[in-house]
Amino acid sequence: MISSPYLLCLGIGWVKRKILVLDLDETLIHSHHDGVLRPTVRPGTPPDFILKVVIDKHPVRFFVHKRPHVDFFLEVVSQWYELVVFTASMEIYGSAVADKLDNSRSILKRRYYRQHCTLELGSYIKDLSVVHSDLSSIVILDNSPGAYRSHPDNAIPIKSWFSDPSDTALLNLLPMLDALRFTADVRSVLSRNLHQHRLW
């Protein structure tokens, strides 16, 4: 684990360590809860873990499925970036999911939830300036374009994941994330419409 806020980029000097903001639902995991009549996961597919949370004084069980390769992905990118969770979900749920994904590795320490989003036209917008004032060093990975509407030049979209066991989207992003950490301003790369292409 690299603890220094700076990374040595050979040939061009020091480059500040960047922040990778990660969405949870349909980006890193998919879940459904008790009472869902038609869960999107194939019948008989066991969840990776079950969360029991109390919402409005009612106990609710969430059956959580991890996107393929998510554990390896987090292990690798945590060595390159400071990782931040930013979800539009309620904190009681999002915190429990993040704890499971972190798995006592202390790589998902900073977290933002629904109360940190801005509600606009019925959708939750994630303001990246809440995470850090320097937007040149922040990348957001999210399956919902509406979530990063305020910062499209900081975004890497990813296809929504529900149950496909052969999905490789997270693995496919590693080369780009590896290169992006050495740029002076991530927006100079991400604003070139590269994020409109199919990256999965």
Question: What confidence score (pLDDT) does residue 193 get?
Answer: 58
What tens digit of pLDDT does each residue of 45-61 get? 899 999 999 988 989 99
Is a pLDDT exceeding 80 seen at residue 107? yes
d(CA 7, CA 166): 34
34 counts as catalytic: no
Q: Which amino acid is at 62?
A: F
What single string gives the DSSP state of each residue in 31-42?
EEETT-SS-SSP
What tens digit of pLDDT does each residue of 4-46 get? 555 554 455 577 899 999 999 999 999 998 776 666 777 678 9
d(CA 126, CA 147): 5
Is a pLDDT exceeding 50 seen at residue 200? no
Which residue, among 165, 166, 144, has the nearest Cα to 156 in the 3D structure? Answer: 144
Is a pLDDT exceeding 50 seen at residue 2? no
Residue 176 belongs to what H/E stretch?
helix 169-180
Query: What is the percent of the chain where pLDDT is above 70?
Result: 86
Which residue, among 113, 106, 100, 48, has the nearest Cα to 78 in the 3D structure? Answer: 106
Which member of 23, 34, 127, 185 is catalytic?
23
Residue 26 belongs to what H/E stretch?
none
Question: What confidence score (pLDDT) does residue 5 get?
Answer: 54
d(CA 161, CA 170): 11
Bridging pattern class, strands 82-86 and 110-112: parallel
Question: What confidence score (pLDDT) does residue 106 get?
Answer: 96
The pLDDT of 82-108, averaged and rounded, is 97
48 counts as catalytic: no
- What's the start-to-end Cα distance of the chain, in Å? 27
Average predicted confidence (pLDDT) for the chain: 89
Which member of 25, 127, 178, 185 is catalytic?
25
| 18-28+67-191 carries CATH number 3.40.50.1000 | yes
The pLDDT of 66-80, averaged and rounded, is 98
> Are residues 20 and 155 in contact, defined by beta-carbon separation less than 8 angstroms?
no
What tens digit of pLDDT does each residue of 119-136 get? 988 889 999 999 999 999
Tell the residue number behind the tokens 């509406």, with chain if given: 146
Tell which wins on pLDDT, 98 or 6. 98
What tens digit of pLDDT does each residue of 135-167 get? 999 999 999 999 999 999 999 999 999 999 999
